[in-house]
Amino acid sequence: MIIEAKGLTKGFGKKKVVNGIKIQIERGEILGLLGKNGVGKTVLMNILTGLILPNKGVVKFEGVSIESDLQSYWEKINWASAYQSLQLHASTKENMETFAGIYGVGKDEIDEVLTLVEMNEDKLKNRKLFLLSSGEIGRVNLAKALLNRPEVLFLDEPTAFLDPVFKKKLIRILKKINKEWGTTIVFSSHQLDEVVSLCNRVIVLRNEKVSYAGKVLNNKKLISYF
Amino acid sequence: MSARRIFILWRHYIYSIKRNKGRLVDIFVWPVLELLVFGFTANFLNQEIQNEAIKLMAILLGSLVFWHFFAKISGEVYQQLFDDVLSKNLKNIIMSPVRVGEMIIALIGAACTKLVVSMGILLFVAKIIYGFNLLVDWRYGFLVLTLVLWGVAMGLLVSSLLFLLGNKAMTLAWVVTGIVQPFSCVFYSREILPGIFRMISYLVPSSYVFEIYREMIKTGNFNWQLWGLSIGLSGLYFLLGILLFNFFLKLSRKTGVLARI
């Protein structure tokens, strides 16, 4: 088991978002995180990545609480969200160079990940992010998240702004890095088809709790747990 | 601490002006325009009053230049952070191997680099157009030291508010130097201030700097006692700034503010 979370409870003010959730993530699996809007998928992912602290509960990476050395945890994982960006006034290349420097990786890794997300053309690489489409920014976000060959990759609705063609390609890319790099992937989405075609296992959230955790079911059955 | 990560972040913050032309205007053009207005005003008043003893040019221009040391560096420290917030990039930096200390050093380093260039231009323009040279007296360096330390401290204090209040802090930041200025007694003596304002001004390190400067212009004496007070106070605010930056960043993970930035 690569990540284990127990008794995760988080609320803002009087409203509880997740309550006593237990999650186990096996090394090398692709886990889908599902649920209605506002059910707490992003909050749960933020807790698992260490961005926010739960009110109660603990997240362990390889058996050790992530709070004991958060920076070294962040060296090993990475994340991307459709609702985040990199520096908008910098080009794709400049952004990649910044994060490659932060993660201590070189130009070869930059070329590799940009090629993977099909952003390695010079005109795309040298264009400032604010001149790119939302989908292209999403691809650059993903490239950043792959730079350090993470052991665990957290993706929060990564397909939200992607065109249908690249959505399919993304599924292929994620399967490839899962197989070749051994990267564990935690993937949240509203697109059940994507989850069904990508994930080995799913967790469905409902009313602050896990309503289903197990193998991927067909769409109709999955929706019944929403 | 990693020197590589500090350098990468320093470069990231320095590039913010290369990438964003609006920021170039803010850092380099605006201070020069202000200098021109104050310079011509001082020239005009000197002609009207016809009294060299008042040394209006030195007081107005010198005070303005000194004020920019504080205003520019404090603004740059938090603006660099806000640039990443506006791009929705800050979480990428925080959720990376970058340590808080590395981020603070890079923020300060990049702000100081920009300050050197910005003030170099300002001093050059002041010398060329008005024949005003702030580099003639080495003791001015001590005043600059206080203002830079106090400016960095203020920049860190404002930055820390981001982790307490979220994006609302960005609106508040713009008015902070405006709030500090009346209590800094930049262009007038502390005695002009009414009771409570005067009391507050004693807590503002820059108020001592401008008091020392005016005394230097009038008598040539440098009040080392007041300078000691100003640098000590700035040091305290600097430590407070670092502590609050750390504290509110940690707190923002508990409150969830960090996720909403």
Does the CB of B100 have a partner CB in chain A at under 8 Å? no
The pLDDT score that the predictor gives to residue B62 is: 83
- Please tell me which residue of chain B has the smallest CA distance to A129: B87
Name every chain B residue with its beta carbon within 8 A of the beta carbon of A50.
95
Domains located in chain A, CATH noted: 3-224 (3.40.50.300)
Out of A52, A75, A90, the one facing B19 most closely (by C-beta) is A90
A58-111 pLDDT tens trace? 999 999 999 999 999 999 999 999 888 898 889 999 999 999 999 999 999 999
Burial class (CB in 10 A: 0-12, 13-18, 19+), A164: exposed
Q: Nearest C-alpha of chain B: how many angstroms from A75?
A: 5
Out of B16, B92, B259, the one facing A144 most closely (by C-beta) is B92
Per the CB < 8 Å rule, is B19 touching A79? no
Contact (Cβ atoms closer than 8 angstroms) between residue B73 and residue B151: yes
Per the CB < 8 Å rule, is B8 touching A84? no
Best mutation target among A98, A154, A155, A156 (most B Cβ atoms within 10 Å) is A98
Strands A56-61 and A3-12: antiparallel
Does the CB of B44 have a partner CB in chain A at under 8 Å? no
Contact (Cβ atoms closer than 8 angstroms) between residue A213 and residue A205: no
A103-159 pLDDT tens trace? 999 999 999 999 999 898 888 899 999 999 888 898 999 999 999 999 999 999 888
A214-224 pLDDT tens trace? 998 888 888 88
Name every chain B residue with its beta carbon within 8 A of the beta carbon of A46.
256, 259
Range of the domain at B137: 3-260
With 70 as the cut, is the pLDDT of residue B8 above it? Answer: yes
Q: Nearest C-alpha of chain A: how many angstroms from B205?
A: 35
How many contacts does A have with B, using Cβ atoms within 8 A? 88
Out of B8, B20, B92, the one facing A84 most closely (by C-beta) is B92
The pLDDT score that the predictor gives to residue A114 is: 95
For the segment B216-242, the average pLDDT, to the nearest whole number, is 94
What are the structure tokens assigned to B119, written together? Answer: 């003030």
- Please tell me which residue of chain A has the smallest CA distance to B89: A86
B79-135 pLDDT tens trace? 999 989 988 999 999 999 999 999 999 999 999 999 998 888 888 888 888 777 777
Rounded to two decimals, the ipTM of the complex is 0.90
Burial class (CB in 10 A: 0-12, 13-18, 19+), A99: buried
The pLDDT score that the predictor gives to residue B50 is: 62
The pLDDT score that the predictor gives to residue B54 is: 56
Residue indicated by tokens 């409902």: A206
With 60 as the cut, is the pLDDT of residue B14 above it? Answer: yes
Tell me what percent of the residues of chain A surpass a pLDDT of 70: 100
With 90 as the cut, is the pLDDT of residue B205 above it? Answer: yes
Name every chain A residue with its beta carbon within 8 A of the beta carbon of B83.
87, 89
Per the CB < 8 Å rule, is A51 touching B92? no
Q: Please state which of the ranges A172-176, B9-13, B43-47, B137-141 shows the lowest mean pLDDT.
A: B43-47
B165-196 pLDDT tens trace? 998 888 888 787 788 999 999 989 999 999 89
Per the CB < 8 Å rule, is A53 touching B8? no
Does the CB of B131 have a partner CB in chain A at under 8 Å? no
Q: E strands along B17-107, which residues?
A: none
Mean pLDDT of chain B: 88
Burial class (CB in 10 A: 0-12, 13-18, 19+), B53: exposed
Instruction: Tell me how far apart the alpha carbons of residues A54 and A57 are, in angstroms, rounded to a whole number.
Output: 6
Looking at the 3D structure of chain B, how many domains does it have? Answer: 1
Name every chain B residue with its beta carbon within 8 A of the beta carbon of A98.
8-9, 11-12
Measure Cα distances from A132 to A118, A173, B68, B84 in Å: 13, 21, 36, 17
Name every chain A residue with its beta carbon within 8 A of the beta carbon of B81.
none
Does the CB of B21 have a partner CB in chain A at under 8 Å? no
Out of A53, A87, A128, the one facing B84 most closely (by C-beta) is A87
Instruction: Tell me how far apart the alpha carbons of residues A170 and B80 are, in angstroms, rounded to a whole number.
Output: 33
Name every chain B residue with its beta carbon within 8 A of the beta carbon of A104.
4, 97
- Please tell me which residue of chain A has the smallest CA distance to B253: A52
